[in-house]
Structure 1
Amino acid sequence: MSTLSPEEFVNKYNGFDYLVVGGGTAGLVIAARLSEDPNITVGVLEAGSYHHNDPLVDIPGFVGRALGNPKYDWAYYSVPQKHINDRSLFQPRGKMLGGSSGVNFMTTVRMPDILTVLLSPSHPTHRASKEEYDAFEALKNPGWNWNSLLGYFKKSETAHPADKDVHSDRHNAELDPDVHGTSGPMHNSFANWASDINVPFFDALEKLGVPRNPDAASGLASGSYTILSAVDPATSKRSYTAPGYYAPNASRPNLVVLTSTQVTKLILTGAGEPYTVSGVQFTTAGTDKMYEVRAKREVILSAGAFGTPQLLELSGIGRREVLERAAVEVKVDLPGVGENLQDHVYVLSLCEMNDDVATFDALQDPGRQATETQLYEQERKGMYSCTQSAHAYIPATAVVPPPELKRLKREIRDNTPELDLTVSLKKQKALLEDWLDDDRHPQIELISWPGFFPVPGTTPRPGVKYHAVFIILLHALSRGSVHITSGSPFDSPSIDPNYLASHVDRDLLVHATRFVKKLHDTEPLKNLTRSYVEPAWEDDAADGGPSVSDEKLGEFIKSTLEPIRHPAGTAAMFPREEGGVVDPKLKVYGTTNLRIIDASVIPIHIAAHPMATIIAMAEKAADIFKADVSV
């Protein structure tokens, strides 16, 4: 890796052909692909450090330990959320080479009375249904669809088959060779340890109408399956974009990375639109000295769903009212900047299980911890080599009774005026209404976590085995925003996800929570379940009705809901007149040479954890940028 000083970076090649702002999930993909041409110079500016061979990043079982640590994490918080009891929620974002692909922004669990163990769900590397990528194109983005992205999914990936000693046929851990890559930079594999809850979880879901899915990467995401995770099975270390895309290419003389460097402003030149971004202003950690570095061709912004709109606004690109309120000179009045914020949210169901069930709770025992540590260090196996692996993607038709589903569709159509404010929002609203009763579009994800996971107010009882289920809303109607509140780049942006602004979001979570109760009441999972912890389900009511009212469940959701931390959409790819920020070639409106590639350009959220999609989109973006230069 380069050890240049800021001054040397600025003077290297008298500036760079491409400046990439943010060496994260997408930024390193772009940098690696553009620098394949030895005649093209690429400079990358990253606010964090390179955590090469860092156990907090590499070891799957340590996922979560880095969160909240400023060496790894921006550690943002939302503004108080008025629809969930005015709670301000943690919003971690990766601050390191590799970005959030290296931390996976997850929650920590602290086991009591032992050496602290921090466990949380890994970042699965799966894909949404074909129709959800085709929706990108339907929203006036020609060339952005499933067929165009599939080749880039494959290009980015090396998929490894399951170890049949760990995963039987009933674990549903299969690979369709037609849709997976075999030689890409990102390694995706199945966990090499599996809880004995997994198969009963799949079997009970099947009895409730949720079938097993042979391979959800094939374009149909609905169903249950063992998930692929970003773990290289040769080392049992996390696979992310720093070791995948940067490390193999770090010796290229035309690829230069400067870490611990915060970009503070884009330098716009010209008398009016379209402006040219001639370079960027930056500072380095521990100093207040400002530097400027020149961009000869283009600046590529890859600062993420929070950082990208922040930098646009600091540079005078955004909604006029926001910029004027922050005392920033308006260069490009672009109202879509920072709007359309979308995220996945979840609530937890927590049960006590039978004593003989295999869960991560075993790590409460110091002796078992030592055994598992040794197993990982010597054989790269065991609990520390992986995290959870059983997931399900469920359409609303499996969770919501038909009359209620019709009511929810009417609610979307007639009682969501906040989705009528722009043309792009109206189009999203129409899609979300159509998708609600379409089985090709999962509305709920369930993650089976074999072990204790904290619901507010709960602590694990020593020696007890637990099963937590993450109940995730995939297509929220609620839309939020992220904006600057001052002209200082060192002030955190105001992040307002507007969680549960739509009653439909809350109602879907109520139904999904009831579904998980039914799941635990269904054999063979029922036979493993001892009691319910949260929600605190009571005995069935005497009249046969629900033991917990919708109102009580709604309050539980408001008081415990958390983001799964997949923010997207804040510099969305739409036509400018419809509220967009970038065109289908990812160029920012009102500029000649400013591009964006990160989660912020996603126009409508997908029913999937987005890392694999962001990487595939960055692979496609690299080809778009190369083609534009060659014209």
Structure 2
Amino acid sequence: MLSANLLDAYDYIIVGGGTAGLVVASRLSEDLHATALVIEAGRDHRDDPPVSTSGFLSLLCGNDSYDWKFTSTPQPGLNSRALSLARGKGLGGSSAINFMHTVYPTAASIDAWLKLGNPGWSYQDLAPYYQKFGTRHAPTDEIRAITRIKSLDDSLSGYGPIQMSYGQAFGVTNSAWMDAHISLGLKETNDPIPGSVTGAFQNAASIDPTTKTRSYAASAYYNSQIRQRLNLTVLTETIVQKIMWQGQEPDVVATGIQVREMNGTISTVKAQREVILAAGAFQSPQILEVSGVGGSKLLDALGIDVILDIPGVGENLQDHAQVCQSYEVKDGIPSIDMFRDQELVGAAIAQYRINGDGPLGTNASSTSYLPIVDKNGPLSAESKKILLDEFVTDSSERNVILKELLMEAGAPALSYVTFPCQINTDIEDLTSFSNYTAPAKPENYFTILNALGHPFSRGTCHITSQNMDISPTIDPGYFKHPVDLEILSRSVMFAEKLMATEPLSSTILAQPNGRRLPETIPSTLENARHIVEERVISNMHLCGTCPMMPREEGGVVDSRLLVYGTRNLRIVDASVFPLIPVGNIMTTVYAVAEKAADLIKED
């Protein structure tokens, strides 16, 4: 809420106290002579057990206190289903509600940003910032043996405030996951950080190994020491109404922001140096458009004065569409589904309160990055080319770069993540993520989250009103490009082969071809396509709506993250991603924000 001691002006105003915003605020306020103000619409959840306790993550998405609960438009490519699009609401943003997987992109997927006209944004340029945001703690020898980790490059483990660890809950499912990939002749990656990830690997999680609590932007970049900085002010439960302007293009200056308190009071705060947008892939373009920056046709229709005509605002929306394939497990195989028994829940809570141990203090998922596959395994170079040439006929620069990415030998096109419970998407209401994980079947399950790594489809996010309380219309555009359906359908078929491979099959499955969700077996490509269209959900990796690209190519910010036509408005969150990298995007959001802070200091 607004402070009685609020200054009339600050050097830097950061709009959004989420994953990126708190990184930038923390770094800029290291200069004690510079004042910084963070405006966050949500609350401070650092003392909330559902946020801090990793095992309670299923309580977050779909909960009004923690999640904005955005919903997509009905998707033609998904048989007109509308999906939940969870976004973190509060300090820390989506880093407060995500699944805490710390995986890294391939070097090639970041180098693609450079190819799209962004000097200074190769993987080599960004690599130091992957080390700067976090510190990876090495696993014990026992966990190394279980997860088949032979070596880790300690020089890449980082030195930053986000704490990443492996925990002690790894077991037979993780070993079987790694060994099944080896049985199929697939590569394994010991260390996923260097940028050459392919095959199966064991990822860490953003969990502090000492406290066994979630390590995220609010706990790490706004800790008790940083909170004592007199030059840093963080206001929660305060809504940014619009950005204030002065001047004409190409020298438009953001002079400040207009904000609204919870009681409805409207105030204006001035910016002496910069206004920095970090409101996320939906609300950063929303704020731009209500402030007069966006496509002039849309703004004119809504009666908004056009400050800058930038049609790329709200375009280029990307996500990792995913299918969840759940399999019944044998008795004794760990599954969160067991916690439908309240006595077990009570025992787990008691154990966690004593020493932070047990299932509530860890995250034991495994991952693999795979190239384009079919029911038998990775496609040959010739087969990949035939598939891509058949379905990708548009020779735009972006599509050419994506095809090059996927044609590289072994280059990941897909990510698989294991999850120790059932995820049921055969439900009527798909607009709340919490509905997916509510146990629908009495058995215990193991799930493969099967996600498209480099989608060709693009969506949009645009306002329909000048009112910031009205959510923008969000159309992720799943399967607008036909090749996405083809790649993911084949991947669904391969997941069946993977689960039928030893030792996964005999170690984990209750029985071959046993109970599963969805119940249809993807034995043919037609069946697989049907499953994908009926079962795809969002991976919550929404990005790209204010892309860093040349303006004439649909870009919104330049390579220094300045909005075109302005002198002092930057965007530093996932909305600037020109192309979504493979895997969970949290590490790249942190890295981009760290680099953004350095760019701001340099300028």
TM-score, scaled relative to structure 2: 0.93
In structure 1, the residue corresponding to 2:222 is in which secondary structure?
Answer: helix
Determine the structure 2 residue equivalent to 1:621. Answer: 596
Once residues 225 and 185 of structure 1 are traced to their aligned partners in structure 2, the CA distance between those partners, rounded to angstroms, is 24
Q: Which runs of 5+ in 2 are unaligned?
A: 428-435
- The match for 1:91 is 85
Task: Output the CA distance in 1 between the equivalents of 2:47 and 2:150.
Answer: 29
What amino acid sits opposite 2:44 in the alignment?
Y
CA contact (8 A) 2:146 2:172 kept: no
Tell whether the 8 Å contact from 1:399 to 1:512 is kept in structure 2 after alignment: no
Of 575, 578, 585, 2:560 maps to 585
2:412 is matched with 442
Asked if the contact 1:582–1:588 (Cα under 8 Å) also holds between the matched residues in 2, the reply is yes
Is the Cα–Cα contact under 8 Å of residues 277 and 593 in structure 1 kept in the other structure? Answer: yes
Give deviations 1:385-422, integer Å, cap 9, x for gaps: 123321111111544466642332113442x4xxx6xx
* 2:388 counterpart of 1:409: yes
Give the counterpart of 1:189 among 142, 165, 169.
Answer: 165
Structure 2 residue corresponding to 1:21, chosen from 4, 15, 28:
15
| 2:50 match | 56
State the one-letter code of the partner of 1:89.
Answer: L
Contact 1:340 1:569 in 2 (8 A): yes
1:138 aligns with 2:126: no
Distance 2:150 2:351 in 1: 23
- 2:134 is the alignment partner of 1:157: yes
* Pairwise CA distance, 1:4: 5.2
**Paired AA for residue 180 in structure 2:** A
1:117 corresponding residue in structure 2: none
Could you tell me which residue of structure 2 aligns to residue 111 of structure 1? none
Alignment of 1:596 with 2:571, yes or no, is yes
Unaligned stretches of 5+ residues in structure 1: 105-121, 421-425, 539-546
Answering whether residue 535 of structure 2 is matched by residue 549 of structure 1, we say no
| 1:351/1:534 contact within 8 Å kept | yes
Moved more, 344-353 or 164-173: 164-173
Mapping of residues 236-385 of structure 1, within 5 Å: 236-247=212-223, 248-285=225-262, 287-385=263-361
- Hey, what does 1:534 align to over in structure 2? 517
SS at match of 1:626: helix
1:505 aligns with 2:490: no
Distance 1:306 1:251 in 2: 31
1:264 shift after superposition: 0.9
1:510-569 deviation digits (Å, cap 9, x = unpaired): 11111111111111111132114134356xxxxxxxx73322221221111101011111
Show the counterpart of 2:5.
8
The one-letter amino acid of 1:465's match is N
Which residue does 2:399 correspond to in 1?
429
**Structure 2 partner of 1:423:** none
Structure 1's 218 and 388: CA in aligned 2 closer, same or farther, altered over 3 A? Answer: same
Distance 1:354 1:68, change over 3 A: closer
Partner of 1:573: 548
Whole-angstrom distance in 2 between the partners of 1:431 and 1:450: 36
Q: Is the 8 Å Cα contact of residues 108 and 405 (structure 2) preserved in structure 1?
A: no
- Aligned to 2:25, what secondary structure does the other structure show? helix
Cα distance between partner residues in 1 of 2:285 and 2:58: 26
Taking the aligned partners of 2:161 and 2:124, their CA distance within structure 1 comes to 21
Distance in structure 2 (CA, Å) of the matches to 1:84 and 1:600: 24
How far, CA to CA, are the matches of 1:258 and 1:624 in structure 2? 24
Q: Secondary structure at the match of 1:187?
A: strand
What are the Cα deviations for residues 228-247 of structure 1, in whole angstroms up to 9, with x where unaligned? 11100101100001110112
Distance 2:332 2:565 in 1: 63
Q: Give the drift of 1:174.
A: 4.8
Q: Which residue of 2 aligns with 1:40?
A: 34
- 1:451 is matched with 421
Letter in 1 for 2:455: A
Structure 1 contact 279–295 (Cα < 8 Å) conserved: yes
Residue identity opposite 2:422 in structure 1: F
Distance in structure 1 (CA, Å) of the matches to 2:97 and 2:147: 31
543, 564, 582: which one aligns with 1:607: 582
Match of 2:148 in 1: 171
The alpha-carbon distance between structure 1 residues 448 and 27, as it changes in their structure 2 partners (threshold 3 A), is: same
| Residue 456 (structure 2) pairs with residue 480 (structure 1) | no
Partner of 2:450: 471
Question: Does the 8 A contact of 1:412 with 1:429 survive in 2?
Answer: no
User: Offset of 1:175 from its aligned partner?
Assistant: 2.7
- Percentage of pairs with the same residue: 36
Task: Count how many residue pairs are aligned between Structure 1 and Structure 2.
Answer: 585
User: How much has 1:571 moved relative to structure 2?
Assistant: 0.5
CA distance in 2, matches of 1:400, 1:322: 44
Q: Write the distance in 2 (CA, Å) between the matches of 1:193 and 1:170.
A: 11
Superposition TM-score, scaled by structure 1 size: 0.89
Classify 1:18/1:440 alpha carbon distance in 2 versus 1 (closer, same or farther; 3 Å). Answer: farther
Alpha-carbon separation, structure 2, partners of 1:21 and 1:445: 32
Distance 1:176 1:145 in 2: 21
Moved more, 599-608 or 63-72: 63-72
Instruction: Assess if the C-alpha contact under 8 Å between 1:399 and 1:511 holds in 2.
Output: no
Q: Which residue of 1 aligns with 2:503?
A: 524
